[in-house]
Amino acid sequence: MERISFLNKNLKKDKLLKLLSDNKTFVILSAILLFGVFLGAISSGLADKNTIARINALFLNSFKVRESELAFNIFVSSLSSVFFFVLIAFFMGLSLWGCVLAPVVPLVRGFCIGLFQSYLYGTYGLRGICFQLLVLLPGFFLSSIAILLMSREAMRLSHNFLTFVFFKSSNTYDKKEDIRIYLLRTGCVLIIAVLSAILDLIFNFIFLRFFSF
């Protein structure tokens, strides 16, 4: 029995390692996003009073918008914040140097999240943490997945372009097919982005009533 249990553990470990290996670009981009969160949190702690006051003004304005705006306007606002990053990553994928520049997108996204989360904790304490977890985090999580996937696809296509231009002949690479796949996967990413905005809207209406700032 112990031997079977040991074999099962090894099998699960091998599957996990294979999963990570098959998605190493996504894993690396996720690590970059988390590093951005870390940098943002540190930057918030080192920010001066004027910077904190500006962040506070932006947050309070955003909170008032969430309280008073119509559902459609909240949805559009949430979607546009994700779409901005997705669009930048998309155009990076169409350039030769996107495979180098695309990781900047999740880095900046993580920095913004870390800056905002650290500010909420430092300014409002437990209330700020609860607001993050119940109102913001579900939408943040799913939208970050969309941005990571778009950045990964951008790096893949850009790398293919770069390799094609400098190393391969025109007979070995189907540009039209690769772009078709890129557009198809971009459509899937946009669906995830829309779902993240819907999720943000749902949690906003469920839990926002319990908070006041």
Chain centroid to Cα 25, Å, comes to 14
| Helices vs. strands in the chain: H and E counts, helices first | 9, 0
Average pLDDT of the chain is 85
Digit-coded pLDDT (tens) for 95-116: 988 889 999 999 999 999 998 8
Location of structure tokens 């290996």? 21
- Find the helix or strand (DSSP H, E) in which 72 lies: helix 71-93
Task: Report pLDDT digits (tens) over 135-161.
Answer: 889 999 999 999 999 999 999 999 888
pLDDT category at 208 given cuts 50, 70, 90 is: confident
Tell me the pLDDT tens digit for each residue of 174-202.
788 889 999 999 999 999 999 999 999 99
Q: Which CA distances in Å does 51 have to 22, 23, 43, 46? A: 42, 38, 10, 10
Domain regions of the chain by residue span: 2-210
Which of the residue ranges 24-28, 46-50, 119-123, 180-184 would you say has the lowest mean pLDDT? Answer: 46-50
- In angstroms, rounded to a whole number, what is the distance separating the alpha carbons of residues 161 and 30? 24
CA distance 50 to 44: 12
